[in-house]
Structure 1
Amino acid sequence: MASQAQGSSASAGQVVPRGLGRQALYVLLGFSAGLPFYMFSTVLSLRLQAHEVGLVVIGFFAWVQLLPTFKFLWAPLLDRYEIPGFGRFWGKRRGWIMLAQLGIFVSMAVMGLTSSDANLGITALFAVLLAFWTTTLEIAADAWRIELAPTQEEQGPLAAANLWGYRTAMVAAGSGALLVADQPGWGWTGAYLAIAAVAFLPFPLLAAMRPDPDHGGSRSGALLTGLGASGLILGVLIAVVAAVGWLLLGAASGIGISGQTNVTPYVLVICMLPFLAMAAALPKIRTLPPTAPARRSVALGPYVDFFWRYGFMALALMAFVSIYRMGDVLALNLSKPMIRGLGYSLTEIGLADSYVALVSSIVGVGLGGWMAARWRQGWTLAIGAGFAALGNFGFVWLAHQPVDGMALYIATAADQFGNGMAGAVFVVYLSLLVNPRYPGAQYAFLSGFAFLLPRLLSGAGGSIVEAFDRAGYRGFDLFFLLSGLLSLAALLFLPLITRARARPADDPA
């Protein structure tokens, strides 16, 4: 595996020029991944609200965002296998990216054509598929980034470029979709189809790139074979996800779980099982020799390696990453319904999410990437957490202001600046925890776990707000206040996790 990783890194370096060329590539890849994200999160929540879907059910839809938490289940496949056709000509990383973009286009187009939400099961199915392919794109792009930039100094600019593209696309999708949806004759169908078309634009650009140095052959033949294989993969996955969803809903109904049931404890237990199992096995993992099957396994080896390298410190690292991005994840799903409830129109929200959000996010990401490349990790993580929390507190402030565009712009700017800064710092931090021998799998494991608890709480966000309201409090106020305080709780871990050092490798290969 080590030799494979080194070879892949060398090839990647030949394909992609250094400096601005790499940064331009990662602006493009970040843009590709960021466009669909709002379409199965914030925009979808507003669409469901417009169709008079209850706040509790809207909260349940936020659990679609839990899917990236489990990307470690299929991330090893991206490190090991190539996509037929695409991989033969463009290489492993670009082949997976091209497949993922096709999946994103198909899923978003179907969501557009079924935008009446008359059948919430269909909406949920393709929202899950959209989240899956968006996550797959991120896995492939992150693995390639870690191979291209293995040091802290190199990671800062590349992570910033990736987040610039990602957050620019999120703003374009969020504001653009709302502005289109608010136009007569377009509606939600036009919004989803328009974003699907834009999301597909990078595909022909990637297809036009030169082949991977270790691959070759006919470009047109590779493209046709890749499209055929992709169609088969997409069809099979639709059938599998539909069948699994049908079985899960049937099982839930059979044991008495309904739309009014508080399923958060059940979901939490299920989501935590793989991580708890790995933590329980930690004492045994620490004693495993390099020849042990668990360390050499394609499926388990990358994750066993993380616990083997960091030992019991791995538990502190996982606790820290699980709450660091708490504030902005919790705000993502409910901030727009709250703002809409204050009396702002879709057009006003869309305008705030365009220029104001874009400029604020770019500045935050750029400053965060600059700090991450030059300052000590403890300081940069602390500053990022502080500004992320301020973004949540800004929503509490907004709720007590008259409906006014300037107040909305200030709250949006604070939220996007803090999220951008914290995101850039956090990406660099996680990337440096990863063993370069397993870039895709280990980054997927850490970044997935980082959003498990926040997304679980986000899914229960509607229920939490309603519970606060019934208790006589202003539900949204208390929700955003607590979410900001949870982000600040990450500071308590900094004295411990900044001392974490990976165990030296005992396998010279």
Structure 2
Amino acid sequence: MTASAAAAVPPPSPPAVHPGRRAMLVYGLLGFSAGLPFYMFSTVLGLRLQAHGVALAVLGFFAWVQLLPTLKFVWAPLLDRYDVPGFSRYWGKRRGWIMLAQLGIISAMVAMALTSADGNLAVTALFAVLLAFWTTTLEVAADAWRIELFPTQDQQGPIVAANLWGYRTAMVAAGSGALLLADTGGWTLAYLLIAVAAFLPFPILVAMRAEGTGGGGRGVALATGLGASVVILGLACAVTAGVGYLLLGAAERIGIDAQSNVTPWVLGLCMVPFLAMAVAVPWIRNLPPTHGARTSTAIGPYVDFFWRYAFAAILLMVFVSLYRMGDVLALNLSKPMIRDLGYSLSQIGRADGVVALAASMVGVGLGGWLVMRRSMLWALAIGAVLAAIGNFGFVWLAHRQVSEAMLYIATGLDQFGNGFAGAVFVVYLSLLVNPRYPGAQYAFLTGFAFLLPRMLAGAGGTMVGAIGYDGFFLLSGALSLAAIPLLPALARVRAREDDA
């Protein structure tokens, strides 16, 4: 990759315009591109592993694959600093990274299809991690582009709704379609066909107009980008395999296995980020604008966030960690629970089809509409309540006779609340970032928002073993409500003016 000319200071955002029909369609497409793979390394993968007899505790451990999206702030600055050879020269920095990420997504998903027997769980984990990594990279690039183009709250409402409509349409298509395909044609067919669908946006992006210098023309840029992508994808696979080998060896040496109770360790690790922030904020808030920590390409965007919000940053981090906690905890184990109740893959697939899509679309639309007309804090509170109701719905379902109608009701409640809360939350996080660092700071906020929930989700299997499914989903619903008491304090938070 080559360093772009404006490496240290991100380029100024283009003049803000209200999103038109074309922008809405583009962001619906980008949401679709990112949403298709997500279920394939989370919910669908969990059901696939369950079908192959993998223990519930190990299913919980596979939830840690979803930690990749929470750690995206580690490599997000690279997407601001570097261009993808070929792709970025013609289509621009953001679209160049999106195109590379799509190639990573299809390669990882094809690999998962070819290893769908899960005979070696380490290999399954390798390709699941790569799929999560490239899906997250796509989201980082698309989010940065969105915030640059549409920085205000009234602009963000409709564009976020369009993006989430595409995202949730794809998630439902992947979840429902993959399960129906797996029930009839097997897991390999399911992953291959979803991989083909995930690749459909790539030629559309190739056909779009040039945004960069366009040197050498479209064909040369495409050929150069494809060649560079092969090298980058190979290096990413090698590095991931090496890191995974070391981590698995370390886990084995300290005695972690399917019978281990990892919950206390996870809870301890969850406290580390807050302790680190409490130590660092007093130093950061007094840094002058010329200090190396504030001008650094690698850590400058994150230091800037804590400089702007000072001690209120800790409050913000607590809130964003709690707000989606219930939904994240429920994601990986809701489908295995439903399967254990006696529902078939086809029944789950049908519920995740039209019902989930319609409920999610309505929730996203209402959430996007509400933030344009009411205060953000009221919208956040309503979203938290709806998300909690969705989690409590699984407890209700567990005490009903097996009935597809009951499954539809529980799925609809869950997806409506998830969609509403998700739309409001995306807009809120987008408004917290400094427009000078849209990609890195949004990646940091969204990554941290799901870091603690996904760490706890990895211990979900052992938690169910201790308190049962009822206790687990009652807990996840209560955690969704736990963010509401923080809202009055959030209303008083104000960012410092930039002194740079």
Q: Name the aligned partner's letter for residue 486 of structure 2.
A: F
- Between the aligned partners of 1:494 and 1:396, the Cα distance in structure 2 is 27
1:116 aligns with 2:114: no
Aligned equivalent of 1:106: 107
Aligned equivalent of 1:84: 85
1:416 aligns with 2:397: no
Q: Extract unaligned runs of 5+ from structure 1.
A: 469-474
- Between the aligned partners of 1:100 and 1:52, the Cα distance in structure 2 is 32
Residues 176 and 352 of structure 2 are in contact (CA less than 8 Å); yes or no, is this contact kept in structure 1?
A: yes
Aligned equivalent of 1:500: 493
Residues 394 and 410 of structure 2 are in contact (CA less than 8 Å); yes or no, is this contact kept in structure 1?
A: yes
- Between the aligned partners of 1:272 and 1:220, the Cα distance in structure 2 is 51
Residues 69 and 136 of structure 2 are in contact (CA less than 8 Å); yes or no, is this contact kept in structure 1?
A: yes
Aligned equivalent of 2:74: 73
With normalisation by structure 2, the TM-score equals 0.96
Q: Per-residue deviation at 1:454?
A: 1.1
Aligned equivalent of 1:318: 317
Q: Per-residue deviation at 1:264?
A: 4.0
Aligned equivalent of 2:3: none
- Between the aligned partners of 1:431 and 1:122, the Cα distance in structure 2 is 36
1:107-158 deviations in whole A, cap 9, x for unaligned? 0000000000000010000000000000000000000010111000000000
Q: Per-residue deviation at 1:331?
A: 1.1
Aligned equivalent of 2:480: 487
- Between the aligned partners of 1:278 and 1:79, the Cα distance in structure 2 is 24
Aligned equivalent of 2:126: 125
Shift in CA distance, 71/339, structure 1 to aligned 2, threshold 3 Å: same
Aligned equivalent of 1:471: none
Residues 2 and 437 of structure 1 are in contact (CA less than 8 Å); yes or no, is this contact kept in structure 2?
A: no
Residues 8 and 295 of structure 2 are in contact (CA less than 8 Å); yes or no, is this contact kept in structure 1?
A: no
Aligned 1:127-276 pairs, distance under 5 A: 127-183=128-184, 186-212=185-211, 214-267=213-266, 273=272, 276=275
1:478 aligns with 2:451: no
Residues 90 and 216 of structure 1 are in contact (CA less than 8 Å); yes or no, is this contact kept in structure 2?
A: no
Residues 267 and 456 of structure 2 are in contact (CA less than 8 Å); yes or no, is this contact kept in structure 1?
A: no
Shift in CA distance, 106/487, structure 1 to aligned 2, threshold 3 Å: same
- Between the aligned partners of 2:7 and 2:276, the Cα distance in structure 1 is 26
Q: Count residues with an aligned counterpart.
A: 495
Q: Secondary structure at the match of 1:281?
A: helix
Between the two proteins, what is the percent identity of the paired residues? 71
Q: Per-residue deviation at 1:342?
A: 0.7
- Between the aligned partners of 1:20 and 1:124, the Cα distance in structure 2 is 40
Aligned 1:378-393 pairs, distance under 5 A: 378-393=377-392
Q: Secondary structure at the match of 1:182?
A: helix
- Between the aligned partners of 1:480 and 1:70, the Cα distance in structure 2 is 26
Q: Extract unaligned runs of 5+ from structure 2.
A: 1-5
1:5-62 deviations in whole A, cap 9, x for unaligned? 444x32997xxx9411111111000000000000000000000000000000000000
- Between the aligned partners of 2:200 and 2:463, the Cα distance in structure 1 is 40
Q: Name the aligned partner's letter for residue 445 of structure 2.
A: L
Shift in CA distance, 327/413, structure 1 to aligned 2, threshold 3 Å: same
- Between the aligned partners of 1:246 and 1:177, the Cα distance in structure 2 is 29
Q: Name the aligned partner's letter for residue 286 of structure 1.
A: R
- Between the aligned partners of 1:501 and 1:374, the Cα distance in structure 2 is 21
Q: Per-residue deviation at 1:456?
A: 1.4
Residues 11 and 213 of structure 1 are in contact (CA less than 8 Å); yes or no, is this contact kept in structure 2?
A: no
- Between the aligned partners of 1:315 and 1:217, the Cα distance in structure 2 is 49
1:188-225 deviations in whole A, cap 9, x for unaligned? 00000010000000001001100005544311111011
Q: Name the aligned partner's letter for residue 491 of structure 1.
A: I
Aligned equivalent of 2:463: 464
- Between the aligned partners of 2:277 and 2:216, the Cα distance in structure 1 is 43
Q: Name the aligned partner's letter for residue 296 of structure 1.
A: T
1:234-255 deviations in whole A, cap 9, x for unaligned? 0011111101111111122223
Q: Name the aligned partner's letter for residue 153 of structure 1.
A: D
Shift in CA distance, 109/486, structure 1 to aligned 2, threshold 3 Å: same
- Between the aligned partners of 2:206 and 2:128, the Cα distance in structure 1 is 26
